[in-house]
Chain A
């Protein structure tokens, strides 16, 4: 049974559609990414899935619970890192965590010990009792993450977990999330517009644009849908002249060919077709210095999907 299912989730604010017809799912222990620019509907999705907002249309279940009618029960089992960390600067890291734990019904010396351990785990042991005023963005993110994980949630919603962080802090947080997903087995919904972290962490991604789902699936499957076959670059020692391009086009399994400064870029049905192209060129005494398959990257897929509709037929970069 999936840990999370959204079916046709739709929500508007004052007549403006924030999310329309979102249908996604996540298996238990899976990390999925919600990708999209600001205003794409990622935060609204999290709020709907955690029962903070009610949908205008559609439904969802998270851990088998309906967020709209069983919100409090659900929120006991989920953790959320909001984009702005949401910490009270007047309080210390320990007090922020203790307050949240108390609201969650976690009390006693055992919790005090757990808070201390958690803060130390996130490298905050030395400033656990200092007010958060003056803490860096990275420290605040780590406190917020420690708070979101304190009750060992089964589903974790992370909204822009690395926004505002410097590269080193970003790397730390990404590694932390990867470790959490692996060691705790939590289902993670990662909202981001930073593609490298999504590529590193998520097995499936939902690409949102202006509240509409553009695609949902594994990056390689989405790439295969967008660009059937295999793309490769041929290093021919210089731009391929028209006769060379004709040789390539005449080979079986070639879908597309275009000249580049180094030679040519080809799209072929499979790697056997690529081998045929190389053999044909060598047979016609065209030197082939390299033939390098280039699988689609997450960036390729994302930007192609973001541009779908107006530039859908353009070859990917």
Chain B
């Protein structure tokens, strides 16, 4: 079995990351969207919720199926709205970040190289096609996870800071949040890039890749948004299992992409 040329993979990843840091068109949306979703929005919502005097949200909580609302209802009434909003309802936004960042970078992985006319040079270098594919996956995956984790740290500071006068304790992250951050979010990032890297290899430009990939990734985003609030209300093993399923799907997509990925296929579309 062929060994991965780690040096070559690391070299491509370093080059791509360096290039990303030099591209305002890529880095600005990568930073602005998480800033809006994970800092500005929780701060505004938290401040808004804090200003209300012990609102009654029991009607809303009673509509939740099963005992999903139990973690909230057992809290003192003046804490309920803040914890509900910043501890649970904003979770969907957190999962958008890894999906979006990995998709944007993965779209650029091959289609961007074609657009900049740098792909042919890359194909003429002594790096195995599978290693190149792996490098491109990592070039999108690592920043997506890094931005997500950094975003979450900011989110945790904002959410706890805004709520502190009312709650007087740190309520984010919970154990389930940690599962979402360290297990589900990377899986979601892998899922997005599993789709987008393959689309990128076929598209002629990053814009075309984003358009083609959007058809696949947008439903995933909606799905993530729709399901992730529930994710923070389910049992820990269930959350881990959901993350596991996403990892398996992402792994399958990436594996199939790697198997079908050849130099010839890319060069034919130059």
Contacts and interface: CB of A to CB of B under 8 A. Distances in A.
A285 B12 CA distance: 79
A84 B124 contact: no
Given A84-B120, A91-B19, A91-B22, A13 B268 contact: yes
Contacts of B10: 102
Contacts of A102: 7-8, 10-11, 14-15
B127 A86 contact: no
A104 B12 CA distance: 10
Interface string A53-88: 110000000000000000111111010101011111
Interface in A275-295: none
Contacts of B268: 13, 53
Given A71-B263, A86-B118, A52 B123 contact: yes
Contact of B11 (A50, A51, A103, A131): A103
A214 interface: no
Interface string B11-23: 1101100110011
Given A51-B263, A90-B19, A104 B120 contact: no
Given A90-B22, A102-B7, A72 B120 contact: no
Nearest to A105: B7
B117 A53 contact: no
A89 interface: yes
A87 B19 CA distance: 11
Contact of A53 (B12, B116, B125, B264): B264
Interface string A159-187: 00000000000000000000000000000
A75 B125 contact: yes
A258 interface: no
Given A13-B268, A76-B126, A104-B125, A91 B8 contact: no
Contacts of B204: none
Interface of A: 13, 47, 50-54, 71-76, 78, 80, 82, 84-91, 95, 99-100, 102-105, 107, 131, 144, 157
Given A78-B124, A88-B116, A91-B19, 7 more contacts: A52-B120, A71-B263, A75-B124, A95-B15, A102-B10, A103-B125, A157-B124
Interface of B: 5, 7-8, 10-12, 14-15, 18-19, 22-23, 116-128, 263-264, 267-268
The 6 A-B pairs at the shortest CB distance, nearest first, are namely: A86-B121, A102-B11, A99-B15, A75-B126, A90-B22, A80-B124
23 contacts: A13-B268, A53-B268, A54-B264, A73-B126, A75-B124, A75-B125, A75-B126, A82-B124, A85-B117, A86-B118, A86-B119, A86-B121, A87-B121, A90-B22, A90-B23, A91-B15, A99-B12, A102-B11, A103-B11, A105-B5, A107-B7, A131-B22, A144-B121
